[in-house]
Amino acid sequence: MPRYQRILLKLSGEALAGDKGFGIDPATLHTIAQECVQVARLGVQVAIVIGGGNIFRGVAGASSGMDRASADYMGMLATAMNCLAVQDALETLGVQTRVQSAIAMQQIAEPYIRRKAIRHLEKGRIVIFACGTGNPYFSTDTAAALRAAEIEAEIILKATKVDGIYDADPRKDPNATRFAQLTHMDALQRRLAVMDSTALSLCMDNKLPIIVFDLHTAGNILRVVQGEAVGTLVCA
């Protein structure tokens, strides 16, 4: 039996690139879609927020001299491309989906309307949120926290390349220690790379738990939803 009835899954754009590091890897995309479908078929309502870093990262554009707002809007459009790819992969597997965009693009996505998003979820459709919050200077982590609070998701599942939150980078420090559980305040004060501070503060204010886990271990999304001890739990 699933532990959660409504979840928000936060995927980085880089997750879709697989080992390529750029663009969208079809095999990785199919694997992620299969796991999401398994969860949805348990009766869990699934919403997804996807980053765009595999195509364009606004912060990187700004650091190279671009206007920050323009770079962020380019990053938001990159997320829309990823959302359409995930939508296609999910629907190929027989699940109904809707893409809702914070930036109007009526030919390819619905506008984001909170009540409509909740209604889609109640009807068993996977809802994919594109274009972040629609505003520059906000990350897709913040968009995930905002949308999760709006749709009253029970938890944010943040899928990453590592199996939880560490006190140091485990790829650089062999002595790095993994946390099983943290509070939002701990994560903020320690400046741990869970989410940016805006997203973490929003989750803390709304008592919204976060589980950080390794996306590339097969079956992990399902394990988290079923309440197994996977990754690191950040909670009030």
Q: Which residues pair with 50 in a beta bridge?
A: 11
Q: Is 160 helix (H, G, I), strand (E, B) or coil?
A: strand
Residue ranges making up the domain that contains 63: 6-235
Q: Is residue 133 part of a domain?
A: yes
Q: Is residue 121 part of a domain?
A: yes
Q: Is residue 44 part of a domain?
A: yes
Q: Is residue 104 part of a domain?
A: yes
By CB atoms closer than 10 A (0-12, 13-18, 19+), residue 42 is middle
- Provide the pLDDT for residue 159: 93
CA angle 142/200/112 to nearest 5° reads 25
**In tens digits, what is the pLDDT along the chain, a chain of 236 residues?**
899 999 999 999 999 998 887 899 999 999 999 999 999 999 999 999 999 999 998 778 777 888 999 999 999 999 999 999 999 999 999 999 999 999 999 999 999 999 999 999 999 999 999 999 999 999 999 999 999 999 999 999 999 888 899 988 888 888 888 999 999 999 999 888 788 899 999 999 999 999 999 998 889 999 999 999 999 999 98
- Provide the pLDDT for residue 161: 84
For residues 186 and 203, is the Cβ–Cβ distance under 8 A?
A: no
Q: Is residue 227 part of a domain?
A: yes
Number of domains observed in the structure of the chain? 1
- Provide the pLDDT for residue 81: 97
Q: Is residue 90 part of a domain?
A: yes
User: Which of 5, 6, 9 minimizes the C-alpha distance to 220?
Assistant: 9
User: Which of 45, 48, 144 minimizes the C-alpha distance to 89?
Assistant: 48
Query: What DSSP letter does each residue of 165-230 carry, written as one string?
Result: EESS-TTT-TT--EESEEEHHHHHHHT-SSS-HHHHHHHHHTT--EEEEETTSTTHHHHHHTT---
Q: Is residue 130 part of a domain?
A: yes
- Domain containing residue 200: CATH number: 3.40.1160.10
Q: Is residue 1 part of a domain?
A: no
